[in-house]
A and B are shown apart, each in its own frame.
Chain A
Amino acid sequence: MSVSTLACAGLEAALNSYLDLDASARKQMDKLHGRVIAFEILGLAQTVYLIPGPGKVQLLEVFEGDPDCCISGSPLALARMSDRYASSSQLFSGEVAIRGDTELAHQLSKILGAMDIDWEEQLSHLTGDLIAHRVGNLLRATRDWGANSNATLCLDIQEYLQEELRLLPGRLEIEHFLGSVDTLRDDVERLQARMTLLQKQRQLDSQ
């Protein structure tokens, strides 16, 4: 039993547990029953086959038929395919390549990207609705406070460096400086052109 077999088995179990958290994602995945998607993991020289079935997705290392589509990329690039924002940029930058039925690959990416796990619902199985809702509120409030504090901190640091320590220039100063640089560059090019013109004139005069 090789390491990759164990890894594949573990990944299959993890993927199924993950899909079970969102009933609509599971249903969408079930509709792909009968299709086979191959993931060619570059760098590891390993191909893993994803075979959706009713209620369970299988991940196998060996499949003797032809897969419907083949997605190849590095392990990190493949993992990021489920992120709906990153996936299309990865495709265009060539990090991930798709052969075969591209519509199928797109469907898979959409299913994973659209997963919306209701964590409060999952917690309520353990603690009951009331506590789950309170914990949910607490976590949301903490997350919002965290985001707020982070934004405020960034602004404060920026203000401190720019106005108090004066280590960094402000936006307007930079824009003014860059504008001046552009003007200077244009002036130098005009000067160059004028000098070239005068030299040509001088050569013509001396002939």
Chain B
Amino acid sequence: MTKENTTHFGYEQVKVGEKAERVRAVFDSVATRYDLMNDLMSMGVHRLWKRFAVQLAGVRPGHRVLDLASGTGDLAARFAGLTGPEGLVVMSDINAAMLTQGRIRMADQGLVGNLAYVQIDAEQIPFPDNSFDCITIGFGLRNVTDKQKALAAMYRALKPGGRVLILEFSQPLNKPLKAAYDLYSFKLLPLLGRIVANDEQSYRYLAESIRMHPNQERLKEMMEEAGLERCDFHNMTGGVVAIHRGFKL
């Protein structure tokens, strides 16, 4: 009797093929309140994390940037400002509801000239080899079923000299912070989810999926396995969030 391939969906074990569907359901549910919840959950600090990520990305006028799991476009909006009218920012997401929210938001802000939208799976990036100066994924990698496959796809689509930037929740650096963080994630977040977005389950999944995500060192190793070089990471807010960066040389 063969064991079916399973993977984690938060603390639950699900069939590999099912995970993407479950993640889609989560994001369909949270899409309309996503920005509000981000502000409430992180007390606005997520803006500073994203600023720092954008500074590490080294995007310049004329660059082509692929933003995976773009969602409501916080990172993409900044990149669109940095690449200038000659550059291009491709906003992509596997979830149509999130991508639609992103497109509405960008249009409302007047960002239309250098933005393109595609609904794609990060594991199968449908662009030619050596297409992008920078590929970023902000708070999306933990939702990808096969992270190694996604990292390999990013490596392939990157131009030589280009870089990958991964902004994601990670493991807190010390025990007291970890304890406080666990309390916050498992008690307060689902409650906030229930009150504001009427969806406790999705925010419980958020907390669980963070715990299942590889830690700082492990993710760095995975990036190196995908072929990225000079990989490093920066911890923020005591390791609650980490930015990993790797180059295609």
Binding site for B on A (CB under 8 A): 1, 5-6, 9, 30, 33-36, 51-56, 58, 60-65
Contacts and interface: CB of A to CB of B under 8 A. Distances in A.
Interface string B34-69: 000000000001011001101110101100000000
A60 B55 contact: yes
A62 B113 contact: no
Q: Across chains A and B, which 3 residue pairs bring their CB atoms closest together, nearest first?
A: A53-B81, A34-B84, A65-B60
Interface string B75-109: 00110111011100000000000000000000001
Given A54-B113, A55-B111, A61 B47 contact: no
Interface string B157-184: 0000000000000000000000000000
Consensus secondary structure, chain A interface: loop
21 contacts: A1-B48, A1-B237, A5-B48, A5-B52, A9-B47, A9-B48, A30-B110, A35-B61, A51-B81, A51-B82, A53-B82, A54-B109, A54-B110, A54-B111, A55-B110, A55-B111, A60-B54, A62-B56, A63-B55, A63-B60, A65-B58
Contacts of B58: 64-65
Contacts of B85: 33-34
Taking each of A33, A55, A60, A63, which has the highest tally of chain B beta carbons within 10 Å of its own beta carbon?
Answer: A33
B206 interface: no
Contact of A5 (B51, B61, B109): B51
B50 to A, nearest CB: 10
